[in-house]
Amino acid sequence: MTETTPFTSDPVAELIALLDIERIEVNLFRGQSPDDGMKRVFGGQVIAQALVAAYRTIDARICHSLHAYFIRPGDPSVPILYEVDRSRDGKSFTTRRVTAVQHGEQIFNLAASFQVPEQGYIHQSPMPKTKHPAELKSEDELRAMAKDHVPKELQKQFARPRPIELKPVDPRQMISPAKTEAKKEMWLRMRGKVDPDNIPLQQCLLAYASDMGILDTSTKPHGVNWFTGGVQMASLDHSMWFHEPFDISNWLLYTMDSPSASGARGFNRGELYTEAGKLVASVAQEGLMRPRDPKFKN
């Protein structure tokens, strides 16, 4: 079995295949990573594969929340083992804990809760008014404009085809970004059709996408990002709540803000809405954003 998966001409099929992890024992699964030139595994991939592992021990229940910690950087050159602990099977709720292991060490863990579908009270916060996706440049177009300024070691990953189309509402300069408010909006959708009735797959794909760009929100007031250098960045934890069914083949608005940064950490929140304004998921993430400049002063 190969340890990494080469990219194909169909990035959507590739991502779905990436999430089709292999069962090697009743509660033990093995996942692979793409050959995308990155030195560590994308956090959204580990979240999504761990959620898939949990779902494969569940019957007829839907995930409503997950909470995860990134413990060590993932190594994309070797498989990731996912071990599921069947914590509880109740009448209405089921709880699972998933541990991801590489090189004999835990790199990630996730707790997820699943519920029998029920009816209840409904309310939500309104979707903010914003530009429509048709009015916006895609991230592919923005990356093409910036590709000559990207460090050579990042160019393979920077230019590869992605399964999820992104359209930032207020694009930020990738190189030498200005200091701006700690808020961000972008539209996202899969580049191909995904079965809208397959709720577990829809949720796993959105879990993958939810790690795209959220940590960057807390860097905006400080004029730094992945490309500027002088700052060490990594996701530390990630939580997600699924409120309503959705179809990730259609546009979803991802609104993000960062109410706090301190102690070399940035805290970020996100909400995901359909075009019709339905709030379908919420996200929270804290990430490391450690200054590396010896002359740094806040």
- SS3 category, 208: helix
Burial-class residue 216 by CB neighbours within 10 Å (0-12, 13-18, 19+): buried
Catalytic pick among 102, 113, 235, 258: 235
Q: Cα–Cα distance between 217 and 74 in angstroms, integer?
A: 23
Residue pair 204/19 in contact (Cβ under 8 Å)? The answer is yes
C-alpha to C-alpha distances, 203 to 48, 52, 73, 158, nearest whole angstrom? 8, 9, 24, 25
Catalytic pick among 113, 210, 211, 258: 211
Residue count of the chain: 298
235 is a catalytic site residue: yes
Q: Bridge-partner residues for 253, per DSSP?
A: 187, 273
Token readout for 133 is 């996706």
211 is a catalytic site residue: yes
Q: Bridge-partner residues for 266, per DSSP?
A: 261, 287
User: What is 31-52 written as a DSSP string?
Assistant: E-EE-SS-SS--HHHHHHHHHH
Residue pair 255/273 in contact (Cβ under 8 Å)? The answer is yes
**Residue 293 burial (CB count, 10 A):** 10
Q: Bridge-partner residues for 241, per DSSP?
A: 65, 282
Residue pair 93/51 in contact (Cβ under 8 Å)? The answer is no
49 is a catalytic site residue: no
Q: Cα–Cα distance between 244 and 280 in angstroms, integer?
A: 5
Cite the active site residues: 211, 235, 285
